[in-house]
Homo-oligomer: A and B are copies of this chain.
Amino acid sequence: MAPQLEPFFKQVDELSNSFIDRLRKAVAIPSISAQDENRKDVFKMAQFLADELEGLGAEVEQRPLGKQPGKEHLDLPPVVIARYGNDKNKRTILVYGHYDVQPALKEDGWATEPFELTVDEQGRMFGRGSTDDKGPVLGWLNVIEAHKKAGVELPINLLCCFEGMEEYGSEGLEEFIQAESKKFFKDADAVCISDNYWLGTEKPCLTYGLRGCNYYSISVSGPAQDLHSGVFGGSAHEPMTDLVNVLSKLVDPQGNILIPGLMDLVAPLSEEEKTLYSNISYTMDNLHESLGSETGIHATKERTLMARWRYPSLSIHGIEGAYSAPGAKTVIPAKVIGKFSIRTVPNMESEDVNRLVFEHVKAEFAKLNSKNALDVWLQHDGKWWVASPKHWNFTAASKAVKQVFGVEPDMTREGGSIPVTLSFEQATGKNVLLLPMGSSTDAAHSVNEKLDKRNYIEGTKLLGAYLHYVAEEPAI
């Protein structure tokens, strides 16, 4: 039975201008976590959120995370945690978002002032943080307010966890989540994160998987200092020659990873999974539009989505220590460091991937018969994540999408990583759902970031409806 959502929906529509004002106030605070001089603004933004939540009747705390590692003159911004409702007979949903933003300067190419929310005739609300992630965070506050004003009881208990360092590596958050797993987070029955985007612009999606990332460095060194290529060219082994050779043995131009054994770690494609991709609202034109070129590898959207979501990929990012400026320099670099990463998928375990990478790189270097020295190491890794999309958490969200937008959502995975997803899953042991509010054209991290008014207002309805369906879904 569908919950009675009309009074809530009606209230959201009536409050829509006030919700946009709330977003305007939030965007006006330049809470840039990467810039020291804006740290006070990040704290100001935390206070703004805490005040708003308290005003709505939530129990709020600003939890300090200590000094910033490596920049001990700076305090890390607090995690704003809040509880709204404490009814043992209701499910408890933990929601996550972040209140810090990427840097932005008008002169970077913004058409409007980045920290002034500017709404155009098409309902596009431009401003840094509008879609990433202040809009979605405020969506939860809007849900509470609309329920209160409509006189509708929130059908679940809501736990909020809003951090202020997401755009700078979520410093301190992992430890906080672990520490609170049996305390503040202990009642959570499921987790919902709204910090990604629809695949396109029309159809909402629910995201149930992310790839992991293992990032490697390969160094090759020989001479004690950079050499002049006129004097030494032809008489000394050149580290760049060796490195370029080894890098050329990692992946072919069709994206096939050349590391023996690596593809054996990948979960086989089942017949059932195969059918999922054709229904996704995505076209090759969408790919070409986002690339700005027709340089996609695969001929079909199905194979393209699989390449992005469920197969690993290997990208060579660059070389440190070689000549990288415009112009010409006749240098033989003494030591060069190649950087590449592998996007990982089920069932690739990081240790297995590392072993295969190290063996292959060393074997390929040995074939070169060079007197230079090679080293290869892991810079960092982050595990892939795949949730069960049949869990009631997803079923509830799916019904909410149908109710608000009139369509079945795309069930998607993503090629990139959102590390906090895995942190919450591991700390709580509960199902995690990614429920995006913004669309593919929102330009998060770029100039002219925006959130469409429709996505914000209907998105607020979606978050509220989701909570109602959560309250009704049978456990499976």
Which chain A residues have a beta carbon within 8 Å of chain B's beta carbons?
211, 213, 215, 222-225, 227-238, 240-242, 244-245, 247-248, 251-255, 287, 290-298, 304, 307-308, 311-320, 322-333, 339, 341, 343, 368-372, 379-380, 414-417
Enumerate 19 A-B pairs (CB-CB under 8 Å) in ascending A order: A213-B330, A215-B328, A225-B292, A231-B414, A232-B290, A233-B255, A235-B287, A235-B296, A236-B297, A237-B254, A237-B295, A241-B251, A244-B248, A252-B368, A295-B371, A317-B330, A317-B333, A318-B333, A328-B379
Report whether B297 and A237 are in contact in the complex, using a CB–CB cutoff of 8 Å. Answer: yes
Is the Cβ of A322 less than 8 Å from the Cβ of B319? yes
Q: Evaluate whether A237 and B253 lie within 8 angstroms (CB atoms) in the complex, with A323-B318, A326-B320 already known.
A: yes
Q: In the complex where A315-B233, A370-B253 touch, is A245 in contact with B245 (Cβ < 8 A)?
A: no
Pick the contact of A234 from B232, B240, B312 — CB < 8 Å? B312
Query: What is the minimal beta-carbon distance from A29 to any residue of chain B, in angstroms?
Result: 27
A231 to B240, CA, bound (A): 29
For residue A231, give the distance in angstroms from its CB to the closest CB of chain B. 5
- A297 contacts across to B, CB distance below 8 A: 234-237, 371
CB-CB under 8 A from A294, the residues of chain B are: 371
In the assembled complex, the CB of A173 is this many whole angstroms from the nearest CB of chain B, namely 19
Distance between A290 CB and nearest chain B CB, rounded to angstroms = 8
Q: Are B295 and A414 in contact (CB under 8 A)?
A: no
Given contacts A215-B328, A238-B315, A240-B318, 9 further A-B contacts (CB under 8 A): A213-B330, A223-B292, A233-B313, A234-B255, A234-B308, A235-B415, A317-B333, A318-B329, A327-B379
